[in-house]
Amino acid sequence: MHELSIAASIVDAVGETAAAYPGARVKQVRLRIGVLSAVIQDSLQFCWELATEGSPAAGATLVIDTLPVIVHCEACGQDSQLDGVQNFRCPRCGEIAADLRQGRELEIESIEIEDLEPDESAPKKPDIEALDPVEEQR
């Protein structure tokens, strides 16, 4: 389906970011994919190697955080996570809840890079912020 073009878009974005860290190796690319995003994760993983070949993302592992649907219920005013994508009702009060607050995400969260030479670890573009390693689970 369209996972190869999704993968190609990711590779482009990773390449743009990685260009600020010459000599560094991209170890991991982390995505946030909502369950309603219409992306099949297995297919994306399947074409990842092909899509990254010869790019700065070559050899990087692809980690996908799956985001469940969160709806806002107008009746009770609460945001709630839904168990699936089959029934858009507030799990608290049972009212219909169509106001989607999460579930369509198709985002690159972060990339993990390894600097080969510590001297070159400083990013050349000042607008890209290097942050401390984040925990695996958020």
Contact 4, 36 (CB under 8 A): no
- The least distance separating another protein from the CB of residue 97, rounded to whole angstroms, comes to 7
* Choice between 1 and 93, CB closer to another protein: 1
* Choice between 54 and 133, CB closer to another protein: 133
- Other CB atoms within a 10 A radius of the CB of residue 134 amount to 11
* CA 81 from centre of chain: 19
- The least distance separating another protein from the CB of residue 70, rounded to whole angstroms, comes to 13
Q: Is 54 exposed, middle or buried (0-12, 13-18, 19+ CB in 10 A)?
A: exposed
CA distance 68 to 29: 20
Residues that bind another protein (CB under 8 A): 1-2, 5-6, 9-10, 13, 17, 21, 27, 31, 36-39, 85-88, 96-98, 100, 104, 106-116, 118, 121, 128-134
* Choice between 16 and 49, CB closer to another protein: 16
- The least distance separating another protein from the CB of residue 34, rounded to whole angstroms, comes to 9
For residue 89, the 8-state DSSP code is: B
What angle, rounded to 10 degrees, do the helices at 3-18 and 41-52 form? 50
- The least distance separating another protein from the CB of residue 53, rounded to whole angstroms, comes to 19
* Choice between 2 and 53, CB closer to another protein: 2
* Choice between 47 and 108, CB closer to another protein: 108
- The least distance separating another protein from the CB of residue 91, rounded to whole angstroms, comes to 14
Place of tokens 């390693």: 133
